[in-house]
Structures are given as C-alpha cells and as structure tokens.
Copies of this chain bind each other. A is one copy, B any other.
C-alpha cells in the first residue's frame, strides 16, 4: 500500500500542484455546464441556480443567511430572488422569532426544478464516484475541504453534514 512506502513529497512538486489547479478548472467548468444548459431555457443563470440550491438545502433560511453563505451583496441577490419569487419557485414568510426576517423556502415548483437541475449534475458526479471508487471519493472530499479557507470550513461542514 502507499502508506507502507517510504515517505515521499513528490506529490507536492510544482507539477502536481498545477495538476490540481487545472483539474479543478476543467472539472468545475464541465460540472457547471450541465445545469447551465437547462437554466438558459428559463432565462435563468448560474446565480439563480445557487439560490435554488441553497434554499433547497436550507429551508426557512433568512435572506441574511443566504447572503452570508453565498457571499454576495443584497443588491445582487435582490434581482435573482425577485425573479425566482415572481415566477413561483420560492416563497418567503415572515419570521416568528424575529419578524424582520424573511424566511425563504422552495415551492413545489421550485423543488421540482431544483431536482431537475441537480439530476443533471448527479449523473456526472455519480459516474465519477463510481469510476474512482470509495477511497478516491474520501480523498476527493478531504482535499477539497482543506482547500476551503479555515475560517469557512466549519460553516461548510455544517452545510454538508446533515
């Protein structure tokens, strides 16, 4: 096994680091291409997808929570969110604990559309997981998690571990 070999830092050479950069770039591009092709039909963009995705994953998230998660300005979110609400994909309810808050959740229509978008990515990810095998997948998660800023890692873990 790799772990029984004498320690080697060959995987930390410049070529191996650049390999990570390039694989991330190309994989991310193809991976976002699937939903992009569906979104374009509804005159939506990647920003709409992100909102649908994270509202779907965090029902009743307040607007401020979504802004922190996506790290965009409320002006940027405004247009996208308004369109999604106008077209019946998302609804907001006044908060109970804090009535200033607007809690966001997907409608039935939103749930269906998000599922369609996710399914276009699911096939790609599932195929990649299957081809690479469970150990590779663990490594994939481990490296990605360590690429994320330390200060944000907790919120990501909270996001993905449920």
Which residues of A are interface residues toward B (Cβ below 8 A)? 1-3, 8, 11-12, 14-31, 50, 53, 57, 71, 118, 121-122, 124-149, 152, 156, 159-160, 162
Contact = CB atoms under 8 A, between A and B. Distances in A.
Given A23-B144, A24-B28, A131-B146, 5 more contacts: A17-B125, A18-B57, A26-B148, A27-B145, A129-B146
A11 B131 CA distance: 12
Contacts of A132: 139, 142-143, 146
A125 B25 CA distance: 13
A123 to B, nearest CB: 10
A11 B128 CA distance: 11
B136 A124 contact: no
A22 to B, nearest CB: 5
A142 B137 CA distance: 9
Contacts of A17: 121-122, 125-126, 129
